Chains A and B, each alone.
Chain A
Amino acid sequence: MQLTINGELRSVPDPATVAALLDHLALDARAVVVELNRTIVRRPAIATTALRENDSVEIVHFVGGG
């Protein structure tokens, strides 16, 4: 499946859900926030939200800042 993840076009082995994508990327779902096609994926929905071909995903976290 082709996805745009954080601005990069990526092929990923058909993750059925956002949770599966985070697993694939070795990211802790509790430590990140996900936006799917410009809409935030609420925490409880991460396990059930499906991904489709050409979806745009943003995965963010907190970094140092002033």
Chain B
Amino acid sequence: MLEIAGVPFRSRLMVGTGKYRSNEEMTRAIAASGAEVVTVAVRRVSLDRADEGGILHQLDPKQYFLLSNTAGCYSADEAIRYARLAREAGFNDFVKLEVIGDRETLLPDTAGLLEATAVLAAEGFKVLAYTNDDLITALRLEDAGAVAVMPLASPIGSGLGLLNPYFIRTIKSRLGVPVIVDAGVGTASDACLVMEQGVDGILMNTALAEATDPVLMAEAMRHAVEAGRAAYLAGRMPRREIAVPSSPTAGMLR
């Protein structure tokens, strides 16, 4: 079972709550995904209309583990501010820490990320740090006190799938804390391939929200994550550059 900072989670699939066409479609997709951890963002309330925008009207915090993110933050200070606001909401002290460095690629500012991780970890936050697929940054994040490291498969919202399986495998093999691949998965085969690298879990949002049928895609992703995990544990056969017959070569008619 997946365990992060001593907290057990029943599913290795985590899902976001952004960009769905409707709240109804979102809640059905999340239910179909089997996810327990769902990410949410912190934003200003709208002052001029009834407070319908809040996600808590859609998701029961008793049923789901709310993981707040610091998406949209471009400095360590800003991300720290958002994390503190989120914690005050009173659900848990976990944060999916994002410090973004570039508006076009949404790639992380790893220096800012390391700085914010150290500050928040010292304040007792359980930091899950969204980062790139760089081993050295991942190791530094673990040293800085992150309880999980979240390397990307490919850029946020790109759906490009797993660009560097070797780097993800390397990060997993070298870190003591859980490795959750976050961002870039487009379809079920991507999720399966990610899990086959041996990582502890996967977080996705757009792959579900922008699917033609998010509920069906969520179901596919649930199976893909389970299949990928099982295949990893089962241990794949070696790759060979030659064919080896599966049927007996003896006993052929002459």
Residue total for B at the interface (Cβ-Cβ under 8 A)? 38
**Contact residues, A21-35 vs B (CB, 8 A):** 25-28, 31-33, 35
Residue total for A at the interface (Cβ-Cβ under 8 A)? 26
Least distance between B106 CB and chain A CB atoms (Å): 11
Least distance between A11 CB and chain B CB atoms (Å): 13
Contact, CB under 8 Å: A64 / B17:
yes
Asked whether any CB of chain A lies closer than 8 Å to the CB of B55, the reply is yes
A61 partner residues in chain B, CB cutoff 8 A: 42-43, 45, 51, 53-56, 89
Tell me, in angstroms, the Cα distance from A58 to B88 when the chains sit together. Answer: 13
Closest residue of B by beta carbon distance from A7? B44
**Contact residues, B52-88 vs A (CB, 8 A):** 53-56, 66, 68-69, 71, 81, 84-86, 88
Of the candidates B47, B50, B86, the one whose C-beta lies within 8 Å of that of A6 is: B47
**Which of A7, A8, A65 has the most C-beta atoms of chain B within 10 angstroms of its own C-beta?**
A65
Least distance between A36 CB and chain B CB atoms (Å): 12
Tell me, in angstroms, the Cα distance from A23 to B89 when the chains sit together. Answer: 18
B203 partner residues in chain A, CB cutoff 8 A: 66
Contact, CB under 8 Å: B19 / A62:
no
Asked whether any CB of chain A lies closer than 8 Å to the CB of B206, the reply is yes
Contact, CB under 8 Å: A32 / B45:
yes
Asked whether any CB of chain B lies closer than 8 Å to the CB of A40, the reply is yes
Closest residue of B by beta carbon distance from A62? B40
Tell me, in angstroms, the Cα distance from A33 to B84 when the chains sit together. Answer: 10
Asked whether any CB of chain A lies closer than 8 Å to the CB of B18, the reply is yes
Contact, CB under 8 Å: A33 / B41:
no
- Given A5-B47, A27-B45, A40-B84, A62 contacting B90 (CB threshold 8 A): no
- Given A25-B47, A26-B50, A65 contacting B85 (CB threshold 8 A): no
B45 partner residues in chain A, CB cutoff 8 A: 6, 27, 32, 59-61
Least distance between B31 CB and chain A CB atoms (Å): 15
Contact, CB under 8 Å: B18 / A43:
no
Tell me, in angstroms, the Cα distance from A42 to B42 when the chains sit together. Answer: 16
Closest residue of B by beta carbon distance from A28? B51
Contact, CB under 8 Å: B44 / A60:
yes
Query: Top 4 A-B pairs ranked by shortest CB distance?
Result: A65-B41, A66-B16, A66-B205, A64-B17
22 contacts between A and B (CB under 8 A): A8-B47, A10-B47, A26-B51, A27-B45, A31-B51, A33-B42, A43-B88, A59-B45, A60-B44, A61-B42, A61-B43, A61-B53, A62-B40, A62-B66, A63-B55, A64-B16, A65-B18, A65-B39, A66-B17, A66-B18, A66-B69, A66-B205
Further 5 A-B residue pairs, CB within 8 A, beyond A61-B45, A62-B40:
A61-B51, A61-B56, A64-B20, A64-B41, A66-B16
